[in-house]
Chain A
Amino acid sequence: MNTTTSEHEAPDAEEATVPKEATVPEDGAREHSEHEHPSDWDYVKIALILAVITAVEVFTYFESVYDWGSLLIPSLLIMMVVKFWLVATWFMHLKFDNPIFSKMFVGGLLLAVGVYVAALAAFEFWA
């Protein structure tokens, strides 16, 4: 309030006042400063892991090279979940951000999984 008063009382003081307020970080900047972000090299390492997993996934397609048998579908699903988790936690920063974002996303995800597993069961998908 005093700041506003001084702006009206002395127009020349505006310039001095504005930068003072401008130094207050926005929400985003404040959140960024709350935690340490990974380095670029950390991101590259995550991307390399993702690339390797994708290569293994594609490798499962070539049954003539190696037959995964009954392990095929569980292996594919595990690799999918690991990739999903890596992107969500590292690239989407869920690992470093406020936990409410994780709850928001996981909430929607679990709701979707629950609803559609129920829907698929109702249509006897696994029968």
Chain B
Amino acid sequence: MTTETSAPVASDADTAAAALVAPGDSNDHGPTTGISNTKLAMWLFLGSECLLFGGLISTYLLYKTRRGPDNLAIPTDVFDIPFTSISSFVLLMSSLTMVLALAALTRGDNHGARVWLLATSMLGGVFIGGQVYEFTSFLREGVGFTNNPASSAFYALTGFHGVHVSLGIVMLMSLFVASWQGKLRQEHSETVEIVGLYWHFVDVVWIFIFTVIYLVPA
């Protein structure tokens, strides 16, 4: 009996109610794993990203001393470790502000979450600004993208990482705007957590790059 009465085409009210329960998300699928599908997908994606950055880092390690036939400058000749250290520190601290944003939203502090999201994206912006400055100064000192295999591998690696950080900033700003408009509430904490996972991942990749590429002597 109940099957027949519930069969009619869903009304607009039904659709709206469904959207209220799971706003803009597919989490109501009831995963048989008992864990969120979107979070699982993000972790799977991050696992695959390890392979992408592993390839780029390995390529740089293979080519880092190759000056090419014209014996041109390579990135290790012009590294500015104190400057890069500050950039690294800024990115590291952005992970703190990110996790504080999630903690604030989880306990229902929307204003706090908004402030920390903005702080995270600003710290990310400072990191990107530092990278642009670094690339510009390297170019001035004669380390061009096509100079030699070492330069190409360096720019490809750090450039890819920079693109990841930039995409992270776009996501963070989107969350900030959504929060500003009142669309980001406590029940959306998983969305912030997923963006946070991505952000922390670009941070741990930089932890690796900073040590292996910048600090370990050639």
Total contacts A-B at CB 8 Å: 182
Question: Is A37 within 8 A of B103, CB to CB?
Answer: yes
Residue from the list B21, B49, B187 in contact with A18, Cβ < 8 A = B21
Nearest-neighbour CB distance to chain A for B164, whole angstroms, equals: 15
Nearest-neighbour CB distance to chain B for A119, whole angstroms, equals: 6
Question: Is B48 within 8 A of A108, CB to CB?
Answer: yes
Q: In whole angstroms, how far apart are the Cα atoms of A1 and B88 in the complex? A: 55
Which B residues lie within 8 Å of A90 (CB)? Answer: 99
| Range, interface on chain B | 35 or more
- Which of B37-45, B123-131, B150-158 participates in binding chain A? B37-45
Q: Considering only CB atoms, which chain A residue lies closest to B106 in the complex?
A: A32
Question: Is A22 within 8 A of B36, CB to CB?
Answer: no
B-facing residues in A8-58 (Cβ within 8 Å)? 8-9, 11, 14, 17-18, 21-22, 24-29, 31-32, 37, 40, 43-44, 46-47, 50-51, 54, 57-58
Q: In whole angstroms, how far apart are the Cα atoms of A32 and B105 in the complex? A: 12
Question: Is A43 within 8 A of B43, CB to CB?
Answer: no
Nearest-neighbour CB distance to chain A for B80, whole angstroms, equals: 11
Q: A28-B27, A57-B215, A84-B204 are in contact. Are A44 and B96 (CB under 8 A)?
A: yes
Main secondary structure of the interface of A (DSSP, over half): helix
Q: Which of B96, B190, B210 has the most CB of A within 10 A?
A: B96
Which B residues lie within 8 Å of A37 (CB)? Answer: 103, 106
Q: Considering only CB atoms, which chain A residue lies closest to B211 in the complex?
A: A80
Q: A29-B190, A101-B43 are in contact. Are A24 and B21 (CB under 8 A)?
A: yes
B-facing residues in A72-127 (Cβ within 8 Å)? 72-73, 76-77, 79-80, 83-84, 87-88, 90-93, 98, 100-101, 104-105, 107-109, 111-113, 115-116, 119-120, 123, 125
Nearest-neighbour CB distance to chain A for B21, whole angstroms, equals: 5
Nearest-neighbour CB distance to chain B for A56, whole angstroms, equals: 11
Residue from the list B36, B57, B100, B203 in contact with A43, Cβ < 8 A = B100
